[in-house]
Structure 1
Amino acid sequence: MNKINNDTIIALATSAGVGAIAVIRLSGKNAIEIVNKHFKSKFGNKDLTKVKSHTIHLGNIVENERIIDEVLISIFKNPHSYTGENVVEINCHGSVYIQQEILQLFIKNGVRNANAGEFTLRAFLNGRMDLSQAEAVADLIASNSAASHQVALQQMRGGFSTEIENLRQQLLNFASLIELELDFAEEDVEFADRTEFKNLIEKISVVLKRLIDSFALGNVLKNGIPVAIVGEPNVGKSTLLNALLNEEKAIVSHIAGTTRDAIEDEINIEGVAYRFIDTAGIRHTKDFVESIGIKKTYENIEKAQLVLHLIDASKIELLQGKISELEEKYPTKKILTIVNKADLLSNEEIQKLKSQFENLIILSAKEKTGIHELTTTLTQLANKGALSNNETIVSNSRHFEALNNAYNSIKEVQKGIDLNISTDLFAIDIRQALHYLGEITGEVTTEDLLGNIFANFCIGK
């Protein structure tokens, strides 16, 4: 896969199906020449191989004398194109029949169907972007919130790549001096200043730790924050989910134990996606099916980033005990306590509760009052500070793993420096750190790695 074929590839770049227009993309050395054979300009006998790059041309796509469609042809000549090769984009009418006719026409003329992500793979192999930027292209396409869009866009523009490359280059410079020392070991010559080298390693360690820590935020911004709604039967969990979604997603009934399986849906609040899970009510039961649902409730709490613990306003005398019970069971979880059915409480009772319990949210899911206070709190808990400050945020699990490996290697180098051990012993760890950093940007790749990454792309990108 590391080798670029000279063949020309083709794919539908827009979504499959009927639309106003469709875009068909070709890339390869002979892309312009092949399209030119089947293009008849509206303005004289135009030769696409001789037109300027980044120009658009109106005409017909023809097979022999048969007109398939009137199209706009965009020409991008190498190396100034997405893939770094000659690229042609055909804007045709969005009929599925027309799309297939054009695709089959060029396939009959020696063009082959592109593999998933092959246009972006060629862009990477031709040096148009590094590997982390290529992965960000897929994340950008898949982004479903303002936050995930911003993280992917920053990475695609090269913010993360630049930071990694700077670290790698500084480490590489010192690694070269270390290797030089090993070559002249018999002369006992020291080329790398140990104090300066120690400062560099400490600096790299701090930056790597910051990037690793950012994954906790980046991962939830990319995939959505999982939120479990838990509590006893009939406290209003399903009603709250419906109020948040503004639709009747979950069945609501006065009969306890109505929800027997987790009901999940996603909403966007202030640019962040939240995956809400309405769970089965927690209680002792002899009902076999309901008990399975309760078991799943505990499983969903384990998976959740945030837990919304609902308590019935008619049982506020048990509030402290119920809060303590869940917090003791899940001491590391972020649990937000919510008193539901506020319409059953007087203003005096509400004020008393708020004075007694810090960060308590009191609402009525049925009346949809207090929902805004809940969503505001959720936004604050999302902690988008790093995103607002345009800091580099890691959202890719492959990058996270490579950063962890690089960090561990750097810590070993630090130990070696502190213990004043022989240079050749920690030179191995320096090479390892360089290797892991190189994996992120694609300085170090394998065919399997590229295959796994680009297999997840959509066809045509």
Structure 2
Amino acid sequence: MMHTDTIVALATPAGAGAIAVIRLSGDEAISIASQLFHSVSGKNLEHQKSHTVHLGHIVDGNKTLDEVLATVFKNPNSYTGENVVEISCHGSSYIQQEIIQLCLRNGCRMAQPGEFTLRAFLNGKMDLSQAEAVADLISSDSAASHQLAIQQMRGGFSSEIKKLREELLNFASLIELELDFAEEDVEFANRDEFQKLISKIILVFKRLIDSFATGNVLKNGIPVAIVGEPNVGKSTLLNALLNEERAIVSDIAGTTRDTIEDEITLGGIGFRFIDTAGIRETTDTIEGLGIQKTFQKIEQAQVVIYLFDAEKFHHEVSGSGSKFKVEIETIKNKYPQKNLVIVANKIDKLSEWEIENLQKEIENLHLISAKTHTGVEGLQNKLLDFVNTGALRNNETIVTNSRHYDAMLKALEEIIKVQDGLDSNLSGDLLAIDIRQALHYFGEITGEISNDELLGNIFANFCIGK
């Protein structure tokens, strides 16, 4: 991938629309665009100021392709740090392709996925973690994931890492300097101050590493498994939560034989609901496979909704020997780390007295009628209570990227080695080795240390035109 030539791509989604934006970037972007663009006022784009918009026509020889607006951004004051022209044309797929082909014939090259943002990184317009946040922002589908991406794109995460890296680099330089005066036995780096910095870095990194669990679910959605016996209303509840007929509902037990998944946003947080096959003893091979998958989904879920038939509970069994209670305790014991919500369905078929007895039998019980939507909104609010959004509300730094998480784990490991070395009065030359390794992982996060393979993997996931 060359980074000196001029690239072009459609910056808006492919397909017909009201308008489309075609972006050019590179040293020759303005000169190439000026050859194709005829201003209605006779202006030459090359002689215009940066951040100006001009009305005119894109012309191919004697053929006018479209009336457009051309926006000029001159380096370094552009998204990529290069000369950039954005052509806003009518959204016909034919017009889009004709203009792009015309640009290609006049010296442009088609941009690779994420190449505009890659150039922004290479030209120092943003660091690597901010560049990655651009992709997260584009794919954000809830208020929480949007806020996390905006926070990272503004540099909230990387600025914290950079500041710590600079302080560590300063001490590393002093220790390296001590090695040059080893024979004179001088100490330039104050060990007490260095110990304070190392303790501070460890504290910050542990907080950031712990935040990944929250960040990951806020970014990707919180998986919620709906489990229970057959025919207790799991599919009806899924449909009620989604407010659409997503799952097949039937009085026949064992209708759901595979997992059904769908997503919804509640209170700005994405939830991924999983309707599972009913848990019971069965000789049906297909249903049995579905039940196996149910337990797999429970393993993957962060929240488990155990749903049972309130009417069946009341009429069949009561007291401490209830099979429903046994199943609840089994799930609690098998998955002690899971957030469990115990839900009684079909309460519309019970009297007030029967409901009161039910609540006495099972603690922290949530009552609903999925069929009539009674209690469904309350259940949604209960699910939101499980989400730790305190850090998000307080605008704290939250890690959402697995690459950053992995680099921080490695950096923390090296920093702990440095701390152990300080505690045992390790010599400066050995301390310097661990410090250099820690600095390496710090730099990997923000891109101060990178390679072509790493950049290729990151930007390959971007859309073309960004």
Equivalent residue, structure 2, for 1:445: 450
Equivalent residue, structure 1, for 2:195: 198
Partner amino acid for 2:100? L
Distance 2:52 2:291 in 1: 62
| 1:41 and 2:46 correspond | no
Structure-to-structure mapping, 1:184-263, within 5 angstroms: 184-263=181-260
The match for 1:86 among 83, 88, 98 is 83
The match for 2:123 among 112, 121, 126 is 126
Which stretch of the first structure deviates more once superposed, 442-451 or 333-342?
333-342
Please give the per-residue CA displacement for 1:332-384, whole angstroms capped at 9, x wherever unaligned.
21111111111133223334444554432111111110001111011111121
Please give the per-residue CA displacement for 1:11-59, whole angstroms capped at 9, x wherever unaligned.
000000000000000000010001101111111x211001110000000
Distance 1:276 1:335 in 2: 14
Partner amino acid for 1:189? V
| 1:268 and 2:265 correspond | yes
Distance 1:345 1:197 in 2: 68
Distance 2:177 2:364 in 1: 60
| 1:419 and 2:424 correspond | yes
Distance 1:403 1:129 in 2: 20
Provide the TM-score with structure 1 as the length reference.
0.97
Equivalent residue, structure 1, for 2:342: 337
Equivalent residue, structure 1, for 2:13: 15
| 1:365 and 2:363 correspond | no
Partner amino acid for 2:17? G
Equivalent residue, structure 2, for 1:180: 177
Partner amino acid for 2:49? K
Equivalent residue, structure 2, for 1:400: 405
Distance 1:360 1:407 in 2: 42
The match for 1:32 among 27, 30, 34 is 30
Distance 2:326 2:277 in 1: 20
The match for 1:157 among 130, 154, 157 is 154
Contact 2:344/2:367 (<8 A) preserved: yes
Equivalent residue, structure 2, for 1:106: 103
Distance 1:414 1:357 in 2: 51
Partner amino acid for 2:382? T
| 1:279 and 2:263 correspond | no
Distance 2:24 2:200 in 1: 45
Distance 1:40 1:300 in 2: 60
Equivalent residue, structure 1, for 2:388: 383
Equivalent residue, structure 1, for 2:293: 296
Q: How far off is 1:161 after superposition?
A: 0.9
| 1:307 and 2:312 correspond | no
Partner amino acid for 2:198? I
Secondary structure of the equivalent of 1:295? helix
Partner amino acid for 1:257? G
Contact 2:3/2:119 (<8 A) preserved: no
Equivalent residue, structure 2, for 1:327: 332
Secondary structure of the equivalent of 2:272? strand
Structure 1 unaligned segments of length 5 or more: list them: none
Equivalent residue, structure 1, for 2:137: 140
| 1:57 and 2:20 correspond | no
Contact 2:303/2:338 (<8 A) preserved: yes
Distance 1:407 1:354 in 2: 48
Please give the per-residue CA displacement for 1:241-291, whole angstroms capped at 9, x wherever unaligned.
000011111011111110000000000101111110100001111100000
Distance 1:203 1:459 in 2: 41
Secondary structure of the equivalent of 1:37? helix
Q: How far off is 1:425 after superposition?
A: 2.0
Secondary structure of the equivalent of 1:431? helix
Secondary structure of the equivalent of 2:205? helix
Partner amino acid for 1:66? K
Distance 2:443 2:361 in 1: 54
Distance 1:167 1:26 in 2: 37
Contact 2:221/2:270 (<8 A) preserved: yes
Distance 1:376 1:242 in 2: 17
What is the CA RMSD across the aligned residues, in angstroms? Answer: 1.2
Task: Summarize the Cα distance change of 1:49–1:332 in structure 2 as closer, same or farther, 3 Å threshold.
Answer: same
Partner amino acid for 2:31? E
Partner amino acid for 1:385? G
Distance 1:353 1:219 in 2: 37
Secondary structure of the equivalent of 2:187? coil
Distance 1:396 1:117 in 2: 17
Secondary structure of the equivalent of 1:382? coil
Which stretch of the first structure deviates more once superposed, 447-456 or 430-439?
430-439
Distance 1:355 1:168 in 2: 57
Number of residue equivalences: 458
Structure 2 unaligned segments of length 5 or more: list them: none
Partner amino acid for 1:33? S
Q: How far off is 1:183 after superposition?
A: 2.0
Partner amino acid for 1:395? T
Task: Summarize the Cα distance change of 1:358–1:191 in structure 2 as closer, same or farther, 3 Å threshold.
Answer: farther
Contact 2:339/2:386 (<8 A) preserved: no
